[in-house]
Structure formats: structure tokens, C-alpha cells
Structure 1
Amino acid sequence: MTDKVSEADRASLQAELEHLRQEHRDLDVAIEALLHLGAADQLQIQRLKKRKLILRDRLFFIEDQLTPDIIA
């Protein structure tokens, strides 16, 4: 990203990042709980795992936006 992120944008991205990290952790717990039950709905587990992957991609994107470009 060539433009610097403004302080307001940085704060907004940080807040979104924390929210997404919490949701990602919550999905971990939900998936583990469903797997522990044994008779879990495989389709539901797959949906949760897919949502978790989408969150991970968004997390990486936001982290990249917050990391300053270093020119070597």
C-alpha cells in the first residue's frame, strides 16, 4: 500500500482485527465442541471451517494494511 494509513483508519482496522480474532477463536471452540460430541453434523462443521478460513484471509489482509512497507 503506497498511502499511509491515517490514525482513524488504523484505529478502525485495529478494532476490526480484534473482533475478527475473537470470532476466529470462537469458531475454534465451536468446531472443537461439535467434534467432541461425536454425532456432529459434518455439513455444519464444514461451514464453520469455511467461515474460519474466510476470517483468516481477512485477518492477513488487515495485518498487511497495518504493517508499514519496508523498502530494502
Structure 2
Amino acid sequence: MNAPNDISMKNEDVLRFELEVFKREHRDLDEAIEAMVDKGTADQFTIRRLKKQKLRLKDKISRIEDRLLPDIIA
């Protein structure tokens, strides 16, 4: 188990901070990809790599959001 990346071991304040950081990184990647596509300055490999990185961030965001706001079945 990798403790620094294990969200079950982190308190709520740390998770909220990481959530904001990951959301900002996700937005930045989105803007960078869009700029590269619009200008035609990047090859498909670079764009694909950035999109995968963006998906990994989205997964991290989803896991943290699930931890902070768990589904409650009524």
C-alpha cells in the first residue's frame, strides 16, 4: 500500500486541497490540449499523452469526490 496516495488515510482538509489542485491541473491540461489542436503545434502522440494524463486526473478527482461526498442510500 502506498500511503501518500491512499485517500483513505488522508483527512478531509487534505483531500479538499488536493481536489482543488487536481481540478486546476485538469483545466490547465484541457486548455493546453485545446490550444495545441487549434494551432496545430503538437503531434497526435503528444495530444494522446496529455489526454491520458487528463483522464488519470479525472479519475483522481472522482475518487476524492466520492470519499468526500459518499452516496447515501435512503
TM-score if structure 2 supplies the norm length? 0.80
> Of residues 29, 39, 42 in structure 2, which corresponds to 1:37?
39
Larger radius of gyration: 1
RMSD of aligned Cα (Å): 1.7
Identity %: 55
Aligned to 1:28: 30
> Of residues 35, 55, 58 in structure 1, which corresponds to 2:57?
55
2:16 and 2:28 mapped to 1: Cα distance?
Answer: 18
Count of aligned residue pairs for this structure pair: 66
Amino acid at match of 2:44: Q
CA deviations on 1:8-30 (whole Å, 9 max, x unpaired) are 71000000000000000000111
Structure 1 runs of 4+ with >2 Å offset: none
**Which is worse superposed, 62-71 or 16-25?**
62-71
Aligned to 2:4: none
CA deviations on 1:23-48 (whole Å, 9 max, x unpaired) are 00000111011101124211000000
